Amino acid sequence: MAGLRRTIACFCLTLLATLLIVFTSQGTAESLGAAILSVKRAGVMASLVLMLFLLTGGGCRTPPPRG
Q: Convert the pLDDT of each residue in 3-27 to its tens digit.
A: 778 899 999 998 999 999 888 888 8
For residue 21, what are the domain limits? 11-57
Beta strands in the chain (DSSP E): none
User: In the chain, pLDDT over 70 holds for what percent of residues?
Assistant: 82
Number of structural domains the chain divides into? 1
Report the predicted TM-score, pTM, of the whole model to 2 decimal places: 0.55
Q: How far is the C-alpha of 7 from the C-alpha of 14, rounded, in Å?
A: 11
**Average pLDDT, stretch 36-49?**
85
Task: Give domain status of residue 66, yes or no.
Answer: no
Task: Give domain status of residue 40, yes or no.
Answer: yes
**pLDDT band, very low/low/confident/very high, at 67 (cuts 50, 70, 90):** low
Q: Write down the pLDDT at residue 16.
A: 94
Q: How far is the C-alpha of 56 from the C-alpha of 27, rounded, in Å?
A: 18
Q: Write down the pLDDT at residue 31.
A: 85
